[in-house]
Structure 1
């Protein structure tokens, strides 16, 4: 649970930097830049694992050798998350962070269903109540969003963020399989996942973005692009570390990570001067109550 809360802290800061990075900027190159900065953070551990294995093992960041079939499983995760991120970044560019972030809070609900059906995780009555409070709060956010001219049924970016959330939840369920069933340590999974996701995005950009001069002019490099990559890899490390515990329940970890909304909604609303901040605190409180019920259970 402590590792999950640490992951939530870095994810909240990551969301703020991500909003700054994509604001009035080209989304795909921003996403590629964040992945490259995260990869640069992990690359010394890979080099150390090859040339200085004993020292890297002592540090606890040794990247193990894995068979080709395991690489195939990681490529599947890379494809899922590349699609999720592209949709999420595009939505974040066109919607207020105080609308996008709470919709992402539906992720634990999808994870919850998957945990029931795939891993047979057994929720109790408080956990059931907590998840339904979270979903109700997300619906309440949609009502507030209409006052900002965002009609959820007609806005394609709302659909994009919903699909991104579903894919992200699917990836979360898949993480438990990768970490517990395939026994991948966090840094090994992070390094190869980052590498394959970069290859996927680079292929897309080579076809759709790099050949077009007018599109290249829409990209502006910002310091927040590097910060997003570093913060995401730090959050993922704590999250995968938590998943290594055989008693860890993916649905609880997924819910604990939602506490990142305190940073994203409160600080994000202030920094980006978005509307209806006080009214958004009502459903935010509902989400936090839902998370508390799951933790308390």
Structure 2
């Protein structure tokens, strides 16, 4: 069952990435990011209020947001700091790079998760999963060669370094999620609410120094319907992902790989919508990534 929940998360993540590209294109990055996270928080606020004053209602629909001890708030705050840094780097890179380059690099996340799952959680892949793992690495390297034809040199482009760093931080957060869900016994909606709350606060502080004081940036910001849409789609994706992690049999490295199937939506549909270059050539490493994911998922 947890694999199907992972596929649902991948579906919403793919749609989230398309909306995110539209939201940041030619726009100020930090207010867009703040708008998406605060939209997710506003989506969850009614469930938090009901949890305080009418808990039976939200308990019946499995959306009760529980109170957590102070120490647990500290653990959630750590996740918020990790993801705030990851998103700031990722949104800046997405603003300056084609989505058909950004998304495959983001697909490198399972590499870090894969290794972390082995070292930290002692998850043991099969030989077939190892083949899939290296096939994905090779495919991402092939993407870098195609990216050079669009004037994007991976060794000299700071936005490439930014998206790589964002991917590493995102993978670290994914490993941390398993600890929060399984070791601290947090429910998906409880983790989502407090995570959004702290991340919104962190981003607001960043905006105070980078946006509110700069009239030029304030004038350059354009509100788009995709900004709140990104926040809502992200909450839906996270909910199903965290629900999958609640299963004690769930393997974080396989869930991370399943989430990469979002690449189909982002590369194929996104490439058509944003009319980016070399779409046909990018299908070759795309097939390699998907085959690698399939080997990881369906090996015995």
TM range (shorter): over 0.9
Q: Which of 270, 279, 292 does residue 272 from structure 2 map onto? A: 270
Q: Which of 214, 232, 235 does residue 234 from structure 2 map onto? A: 232
Report 1:168-187 matches (<5 A): 168-187=170-189
Match of 2:116 in 1: 114
CA-based RMSD of the aligned residues comes to 0.5
Q: Which of 11, 14, 18 does residue 12 from structure 1 map onto? A: 14
Query: How far apart, CA to CA, are the structure 2 residues paired with 1:106 and 1:27?
Result: 23
Gap regions ≥5 residues in structure 1: none
1:56 and 2:39 are equivalent in the alignment: no
Deviation track 1:39-61 (CA, whole Å, cap 9, x = no partner) reads 11111110110010011100110
Query: How far apart, CA to CA, are the structure 2 residues paired with 1:215 and 1:180?
Result: 42
Match of 2:38 in 1: 36
1:99 and 2:74 are equivalent in the alignment: no
Match of 1:156 in 2: 158
Query: How far apart, CA to CA, are the structure 2 residues paired with 1:259 and 1:212?
Result: 39
Match of 2:70 in 1: 68
TM-score, normalization by structure 1: 0.99
Query: How far apart, CA to CA, are the structure 1 residues paired with 2:140 and 2:209?
Result: 37
TM-score, normalization by structure 2: 0.99
Match of 2:84 in 1: 82
Deviation track 1:73-117 (CA, whole Å, cap 9, x = no partner) reads 000000000000000000000000000000001000000010011
Count of equivalent residues = 297
1:206 and 2:238 are equivalent in the alignment: no
Consecutive aligned runs of 4 or more in structure 1 exceeding 3 Å deviation: none
Gap regions ≥5 residues in structure 2: none
Deviation track 1:208-257 (CA, whole Å, cap 9, x = no partner) reads 21011111112100000011000000000000000000010000000000
